[in-house]
Chain A
Amino acid sequence: MIGGLFIYNHKGEVLISRVYRDDIGRNAVDAFRVNVIHARQQVRSPVTNIARTSFFHVKRANIWVAAVTKQNVNASMVFEFLLKVTDCMQSYFGKVSEENIKNNFVLIYELLDEILDFGYPQNTDTGVLKTFITQQGIRTQTKEEQAQITSQVTGQIGWRREGIKYRRNELFLDVLEYVNLLMSPQGQVLSAHVAGKVVMKSYLSGMPECKFGINDKIIMEAKGKPSFHQCVKLSKFETEHSISFIPPDGEFELMRYRTTKDISLPFRVIPLVREVGRTKMEVKVVVKSNFKPSLLAQKIEIRIPTPLNTSGVQLLCMKGKAKYKASENAIVWKIKRMGGMKESQLSAEIELLQTDTKKKWTRPPISMNFEVPFAPSGFKVRYLKVFEPKLNYSDHDVIKWVRYIGRSGLYETRC
């Protein structure tokens, strides 16, 4: 199991160090710094073995979170745990930065003591942790409160406490999809998939049982087999294809899915690149929207890479604003809004410096960002029913909001 957990800043200075096992010594802290942090370019895997000691790390922004072990541990568990640790810190004090970590080091130690025992991950649900790791100093709980906490931490429904009350029972459902596309210059779809998730914000009293109904597409399609938050009764899903659960209080990710079939691609990019001699290039990019004319896409941004030896760019676009950003080696074309079934065009003349490097410029793909108010996979919420037998509110009294957002994941067209 995990023998120790260290957090470093970008320079390799230790911010947090917690050792759980006897086989991990202080020198492990230094071994990681020297062999991984200070040798950045050579380390090409998130798992490193140094002298029979294995180091797992995740790096987020400038912070390295590393777990150490000398045993044959479950590697996927260690990474999932490290990611949970960063989530957990984020939910307690916001951005995981050096400053925030230093400011909260006592809290972090207390958390690490609670969520990892002898290297075994324990309950990491932030909702529950926040009920008894508070940093509020002296707060004596009554016996009932204590019993409630412990039964929650260990309980079957470890993600929700009892006795939650709202005057207004309300829930929000966001269906959030990321469309990923790789298209050939000729417009052939090389790969396309939607990675979607359903995020729920629940403000419901008591211990409500929810039943969630969606269209069959996601459930039936083999490739899109969804994965669920731990609150969902998986065995029920396996046998009856129904999604039922008692939700955590507040925001959580209910399910995640993936599909490759029948994706409606909101945009198509048609590139035309012509090299005119050795010092000039002409680029024409057409972007077409492909959805109902009544809908509006937003935050459209098309990024057209330019060669490293670009000396100047002349731009002309029908809609939005386009700029050449020398520091990013790209033309960035932004369009605030665009309706469905429209098209727009940009033409650019790129002047190049003469170079003697033999190496050809390899054209990175044109990438695109956008946001559309529908689910490109065709995902549809059919119903979400709430039952709370003990309290006197019914499904009809719950105010429900459903929103669909389709965003670009990696939306690329080769040119």
Chain B
Amino acid sequence: MTDSKYFTTTKKGEIFELKSELNSEKKEKKREAVKKVIASMTVGKDVSALFPDVVNCMQTDNLELKKLVYLYLMNYAKSQPDMAIMAVNTFVKDCEDPNPLIRALAVRTMGCIRVDKITEYLCEPLRKCLKDEDPYVRKTAAVCVAKLHDINASLVEDQGFLDQLKELLSDSNPMVVANAVAALSEINEASSSGVPLVEMNTQTINKLLTALNECTEWGQVFILDSISNYSPKDEREAQSICERITPRLAHANAAVVLSAVKVLMKLMEMMAPDADFVVNLSKKLAPPLVTLLSSEPEVQYVALRNINLIVQKRPDILKNEMKVFFVKYNDPIYVKLEKLDIMIRLANQSNIAQVLSELKEYATEVDVDFVRKAVRAIGRCAIKVEPSAERCVSTLLDLIQTKVNYVVQEAIVVIKDIFRKYPNRYESIISTLCENLDTLDEPEARGSMIWIIGEYAERIDNADELLESFLEGFQDESTQVQLQLLTAIVKLFLKRPADTQELVQQVLTLATQDSDNPDLRDRGFIYWRLLSTDPAAAREVVLADKPLISEETDLLEPSLLDELVCHIASLASVYHKPPSAFVEGRGLGSSRRALPTRSGSQDILESSPSHGERSGVIPTQESLIGDLLTMDLGGPPVPSSVPATPFASSGLDLLSGGLDGLLSDSPSVPPPQAAPAPSVGLLGDIFGLAPSASTSYVAPKQMWLPAARGKGLEITGTFSRRNGQIQMEMTMTNRAMQPMMQFAVQLNKNSFGLVPAAPLHVVSPLAPNQSYEAVLPLNPTGPVQRMEPLTNLQVAIKNNIDVFYFAVVMPMNIFFAEDGQMDKRVFLSTWKDIPAANEVQYTINNVNMSADAVSSKMQQNNVFTIAKRNVEGQDMLYQSLKLVNGIWILSELKMQPGNPTLILAVKTRAPDVSAGVNTAFDAILHS
């Protein structure tokens, strides 16, 4: 039997002919006719005129014919709503058919006919079908509810279909459960109010997990995807869900595997990163991900895009799997490019040799894009793995020797980055680079080469000639090359002013007078004025140290990464874009996903104001580091309508003034400073505290949060007590390359009930390389929870990038209250009252002070001397102090003149604090 003949009828009068065939008495002929109609429909011909005739064929006991007619109906009902009504009766009748296949077919098709009048008739049959005895009908009806919701959401809610759907979650048949959950998820997501119409709870999740083991592969995907939207109430529940889902990782269907990975990645966020459970789970994740790489290339592609996210979020999972990402000769190009990306992410010192030899191999392949990316990858390795830089550079030089044009150009672009990362190391290769000057025809490569010449002008003898050669075709260059050339020549001039005056004059004129690009003109003017008014300043600006570049620049922004992790397996994870970037409309406000947080940290953080902000991808490396004055790769040309300003005509005069200064200038230019000086004084004013006014002991600042852990945010800090106010003093430095803002702080419950007395104030935005002295006043009025050690304090600092947690140990002396002076008699009786077991002795070494000096020093720190005695040549100081939480501490300090060792006896009703007191004493006395 061949059906292809139906595709070939194209003669005129065809419709008419079909019409008569459709109305034929012979069943066989009728069927043939309907097939022809469907064939025409497929290729895009309009056969809607046959509507009544086709619908007439609907009443048949031939299932195949019925299906064809239904197919036709779905296509044309919308264009002929009145006619479509004719079909309703048959549908309703079919929904009562004894054959479950027909009942299901009817309800399935009816849901696809998006005509209001039909929808009205759909409700009753649908209600029945949702309760049908046959699971096949129920599973079809479940999807039909989603169809109906798409046509008329309020109808579904009013008619109580949602409740019926919810009941199906407890159905005995796993496929019914799976379809019901799929329908519910879709309805939830489409909810216009943004509030999910059906909330998941522990019980429903349990039911789903049970059905998970038994339903079809697709049903498993629906269930896993919907579980991924559920937030377990605590870590234990999260763990038990993980345990029940882990077996799915061995499923042959990649979608089941990836959806399971999504749930696991999400739930792992709720657990402590070093917990055994998480470590074990991470180990289990690697093999299934590797297995995905032996699937069909299209599935591999999706897997690789997702692995790219996973290695950014949890680098440990695949750190030992480098080899599986090696490119195979006949991988499709899209798989090759993705593998390359992941290889670079996984590159580290231990595997770099292998990676490099692979990359070198790739750089000789045929596909231009792939080769370029491979060359770039070599450069990225050099920047990422410092010990490999040498090898990378020599590999790049080898590649340059091949003289393959695009390879050479790409290599030069990455070498520029290597120069920036490791200044003064590889400049010996500049001469080799210069040999290839003529072959560079791409703007990015030309710009990079010019930058190199300008940057190292003092080492290149003929730098002026080289730059001059570029200048000849200045007008024809792209903007990025023009800007680069302008800057490079100014650099050259500042380095070798004597013989390049003419050249700089020339380029300034070209930039300011002959160009209508405002960026170029403005920069020309800035340079011109700088050079003419203050050559020293020009030097500082133009030859300033450039901020470092790091390998992290190609990473996704953390908040975007977190969102994408919630979308593993989906299109968003393939595009690396949030769904809002490519999906239109409905109820998107609600669907933005966030990773769950650990329960400990969740409640100590206030909700961030940036929550609703749209995240974007970090700008590319070039635009980030292309700081205004020295780099401008990739700057878009801006057309300008402003004519060149006329006053620049007297350029030579303008310059000459500055020139003298420059020429006679001794090279004692102060080192340029990229970051503004930290604003210490300012803060003191704000809080009405001069830092020097109080003499109470303040420990030196310690590293609290290294930049590596704080995603670029570095915090050093200490605690102080000034005028009775406990303060946390922090120096916050932005070591990242993007500004930071929206700072907030929270403290976990602690032994002394410290809570912030005011919100954290940090200058916003905190520019890259900028430091800020933040002072946070603290009150001991919050909830108390005993910590170990007692003075431990857990701090969470949030900014627009992430939340960072660290723990610090506070010096005890900040809790010494001002009213810690005890009456002599009370002191005596208290001393006797406290049992001797509570007395602890310590020795304090290396104190060379008289008893009086000690006494006064201690007094400044709220340790009050009650009495002083001299016993057998030894000075005894009896002191009292009171902690902010009301604990009294009595001490006896024994000192012998000439002996630097003191003996300290501490007596208190709460001996736990003694050790801290000793440490505080020690610190104060040595300050």
Residues of A within 8 A of B (CB): 1, 13-17, 19-23, 26, 29, 44-47, 49, 52, 54, 56-58, 69-77, 79-83, 99, 102-106, 109-110, 113, 117-118, 120-125, 132, 135, 137-138, 140-141, 143, 146-147, 149-151, 153-156, 158, 180, 182, 190-191, 193, 195, 222-230, 233-235, 237-238, 253, 255-258, 260, 358-360, 362, 364-365, 367, 410, 412, 414
Contact = CB atoms under 8 A, between A and B. Distances in A.
Interface in B12-57: 31, 35, 38-39, 42-44
A29 B217 contact: no
A71 B3 contact: no
Contacts of B498: none
Contact of B175 (A79, A154, A362): A154
B768 interface: no
Contacts of B215: 156
B134 A147 contact: yes
Interface string B255-274: 10111000000000000000
12 contacts: A19-B75, A21-B150, A52-B583, A74-B259, A74-B569, A102-B3, A109-B68, A118-B112, A122-B216, A146-B99, A223-B321, A234-B213
Nearest to B323: A191
B651 to A, nearest CB: 45
B4 to A, nearest CB: 4
Contact of B135 (A57, A104, A150): A150
Which 10 residue pairs are nearest across A and B when measured between Cβ atoms? A225-B287, A150-B136, A102-B4, A77-B255, A234-B247, A121-B218, A72-B579, A238-B247, A362-B364, A154-B175
Contact of A143 (B6, B68, B98, B583): B98
Nearest to B294: A195
A235 B247 contact: yes
B67 A113 contact: yes
A230 B3 contact: no
Interface in B192-240: 213-218, 221-222, 225
Contacts of B454: none
Contacts of A235: 213, 244, 247
Interface stretch (B140-148, B713-721, B782-790): B140-148
A106 B570 contact: no
A26 B218 contact: no
B153 to A, nearest CB: 14
A15 B252 contact: no
A77 B221 contact: yes
A231 to B, nearest CB: 10
A138 B61 CA distance: 8
A102 B6 CA distance: 9
A80 B173 contact: no
A contact face: mostly helix, strand, loop, or mixed:
mixed
A84 to B, nearest CB: 9
Task: Please indicate which of the listed interface residues A54, A76, A147, A367 has the most CB atoms of chain B within 10 Å of its own CB.
Answer: A76
B425 interface: no
A195 B114 CA distance: 48
Contacts of A223: 286-287, 290, 321
A190 B251 CA distance: 29
B318 to A, nearest CB: 11
A226 B146 contact: no
A137 B290 contact: no
B290 A410 contact: no
Nearest to A80: B255
B582 A109 contact: no
Contact of B570 (A29, A74, A103): A74
Contacts of A253: 252
Contact of A14 (B42, B61, B330): B42
A222 B286 contact: yes
Nearest to B331: A410
A76 B296 contact: no
A125 B175 CA distance: 14
A85 to B, nearest CB: 12
Given A83-B299, A223-B290, A135 B250 contact: no
A230 B219 CA distance: 12
B534 to A, nearest CB: 50
B417 to A, nearest CB: 25
A74 B250 contact: no
B253 interface: yes
Given A52-B583, A225-B288, A58 B99 contact: no
B290 A117 contact: no
B436 interface: no
A143 B100 CA distance: 9
B523 to A, nearest CB: 36
B225 to A, nearest CB: 6
Contacts of B71: 109, 113
A227 B256 CA distance: 11
Contact of B251 (A15, A71, A228): A228
Contacts of B795: none
Nearest to A230: B217
Task: Please indicate which of the listed interface residues A20, A362, A414 has the most CB atoms of chain B within 10 Å of its own CB.
Answer: A362
Given A77-B569, A143-B98, 12 more contacts: A47-B301, A113-B71, A122-B139, A124-B218, A125-B216, A147-B100, A150-B137, A156-B215, A158-B175, A190-B323, A226-B291, A365-B329
B297 interface: yes
Nearest to A120: B182
B718 to A, nearest CB: 46
Task: Please indicate which of the listed interface residues A83, A151, A154, A155 has the most CB atoms of chain B within 10 Å of its own CB.
Answer: A154
Nearest to A239: B247
A109 B109 CA distance: 13
Contact of A22 (B70, B150, B326): B150
A79 B296 contact: yes
Interface in B268-312: 283, 286-288, 290-291, 294, 296-299, 301-303, 306
